[in-house]
């Protein structure tokens, strides 16, 4: 697992993409993290009052755990990792091998739209980080 060095240009480009593709679609908060649980980028309305450090650590752990569960039942990985709450829901998606995109959204946004936009965003981020490293 290589260290991640973030340049300003990649980070800014990633944030713009997250804003355009997900935040503008009505998503509350998007956090891009690495598999070690570090916050790479946080966007959205609630990032100030959210404990992003803890969320990143737990999200990375959650992702790791579900991958292990998948392996136990003979799957490589689960394609959809999603928790539904009363008001807010959270969606996790792997981007390339080292990054995880965490999307928090309310009832006003459908899961289908989130999945579609995340899939679209994943390609852009993967390309940006691929060129970076």
Q: Which residues bind another protein (CB under 8 A)?
A: 1-8, 11-12, 34-38, 40, 51, 53-54, 57-58, 60-61, 64-65, 68, 98
As measured in angstroms, the least distance from the Cβ of 6 to another protein is 5
Distance, C-alpha 55 to centroid of its chain: 11
- Between 38 and 47, name the residue whose CB sits nearer to another protein: 38
Are 91 and 81 in contact, with CB atoms under 8 Å apart? yes
Nearest to another protein of 20, 133 (CB atom): 133
The residues with which 82 forms a beta bridge, in sequence order, are 91
Q: Which is nearer to another protein, 37 or 44 (CB)?
A: 37
Nearer to another protein by Cβ, of 19 and 35: the residue is 35
What's the CA gap between 13 and 78, in Å, rounded? 28
Give the C-alpha separation, 16 to 43, whole Å.
9
Q: Nearest approach, Cβ of 109 to another protein (angstroms)?
A: 28
What's the closest the beta carbon of residue 30 comes to another protein, in angstroms?
17
Structure-token pair, residue 132? 């970076």
Residue 38: helix, strand or coil by DSSP? coil
Minimum distance from CB of 130 to another protein (Å)? 17
**Beta carbons of 57 and 37 less than 8 angstroms apart:** yes
Alpha-carbon gap, residue 88 to 80, rounded angstroms:
17
């Amino acid at each position: 697992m290589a260290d991640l060095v973030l340049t300003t240009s990649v980070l800014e480009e990633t944030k713009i993409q997250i804003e355009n593709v997900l935040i503008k679609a009505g998503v509350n908060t998007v956090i891009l993290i690495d598999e070690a649980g570090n916050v790479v980028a946080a966007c959205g309305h609630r990032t100030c009052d959210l404990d992003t450090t803890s969320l990143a650590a737990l999200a990375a752990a959650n992702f790791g755990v579900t991958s292990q569960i998948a392996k136990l039942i003979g799957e490589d990985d689960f394609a959809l990792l999603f928790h539904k709450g009363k008001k807010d829901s959270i969606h996790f998606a792997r981007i390339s091998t080292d990054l995880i995109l965490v999307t928090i959204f309310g009832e006003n946004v459908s899961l289908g739209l989130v999945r579609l936009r995340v899939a679209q965003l994943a390609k852009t981020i993967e390309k940006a980080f691929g060129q970076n490293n």
